[in-house]
Amino acid sequence: MEKHNPRRKSTGKKYILHTIMFTSLFLLLFGNFIILTSAESNKDNLYQEIQDYSKQHDIKPINAKVDRVWKAIPGYNGLSVDIKASYEKMKKEGVFNTNKIVYKEISPNIHLDDLDPQPIYRGNPEKPMVTLLINVAWGNEYIPTILKTLNTHQVKATFFFDGSWVKKNPDLAKMISQEGHEIGNHAYSHPDLNQRSRIETIEEIKKTNDVIQTTLGIKPKWFAPPSGSFNQETINVAHELEMKTILWTVDTVDWKKPSPSEMVTRVASKIENGSMILMHPTQPVAEGLDSMISTIKAKGYQLGTVSDLMSEKRID
């Protein structure tokens, strides 16, 4: 007869206990491995979805350039999906969602400042914005109405001041500036700069900058030659004075005193992305500006200052 061995019984119990512990530990670790592997797989899938979406929806930036017809044209930022930021917004749910895609703007390689001195007639043709250029050398009686309309529509324009006008009308100049509109230089005595010498051109532009800075504390960075008359020397002088020369894309021809409706129809038929619309403080503009702005907005364009339009920043 085999003798009872308590030690063997104890060893058997330990073996069973160890087996149970090992099995439990194995199941715990294996279960966690499965969960982690599954989570990692979901992450990889989500990350890959965002990467695939990025490849299809990235928009390349557009370099500033000198166009044969339109001369200097500003660049426009591109658009790229920020993959990491987009993933961070989606990882909690672990589901791809286009509404949570995060974009970042990509700057062009060539900027407006990189170009040789050239006149500017328009903004970038991909930017759905237009700007109002208001040249001021007369027409004081129409300015309050124009300002009221701009304020009603919450639109900021760029006013180009004749220097002698600022000298005579500092309060009106301050009123326009205090409304938040951009101020540019329109020479001092409304000269035909195509017929003026380099020295005379410097005097006209610099004298206007001085009176604007004295009156408003602003140094203009945009210059609009009176009557659109200029030559390359005009452009070069403005450039040397750290200014760029602004012309226009669409002319209201308001000085011919068209009916407001005729003027608005004409402008509406010609505007497109990047258009710069020339006008003056005249009766047609005072009476037709409200309709003009409403029509421009109805066509899907934003309105901004020259600086807004020349900016590479996207607005879509």
Q: For the chain, give the mean pLDDT.
A: 91
Distance (Å, whole) CA 97 – CA 120: 42
Structure tokens at 123: 């903004």
Name the strand (E) or helix (H) holding 79: strand 78-81
**Are residues 85 and 5 part of one domain?**
yes
* 210 or 33, which is more confident: 210
Question: 209: which residues sit within 8 A by CB, 6+ positions away?
Answer: 185, 219, 220, 241
Other C-beta atoms closer than 10 Å to the C-beta of 43 total 13
Burial tier of 160 (Cβ tally within 10 Å: 0-12, 13-18, 19+): buried
* Domain around 87: 1-57+76-109
Question: 286: which residues sit within 8 A by CB, 6+ positions away?
Answer: 142, 145, 146, 149
**Are residues 266 and 222 part of one domain?**
yes
Please give the pLDDT value at position 30: 46
Strand 244-245 with 222-223, pairing: parallel
What are the counts of helices (DSSP H) followed by strands (DSSP E) for the chain?
Answer: 10, 12
Please give the pLDDT value at position 294: 98
pLDDT score of 52 more than 50: yes
pLDDT score of 71 more than 60: yes
Secondary structure (3-state) at 129: strand
Please give the pLDDT value at position 316: 74
| Digit-coded pLDDT (tens) for 100-158 | 999 999 999 999 999 999 999 999 999 999 999 999 999 999 999 999 999 999 999 99
**Are residues 80 and 190 part of one domain?**
no
Query: Residue 147 falls within a domain, yes or no?
Result: yes
Strand 182-185 with 158-161, pairing: parallel
Please give the pLDDT value at position 36: 39
| Digit-coded pLDDT (tens) for 228-267 | 999 999 999 999 999 999 999 999 999 999 999 999 999 9
**Are residues 122 and 29 part of one domain?**
no
Query: Residue 241 falls within a domain, yes or no?
Result: yes
Identify any residues that bridge with 106 across adjacent strands, giving them in sequence order. Answer: 78
pLDDT score of 307 more than 80: yes
Query: Residue 43 falls within a domain, yes or no?
Result: yes
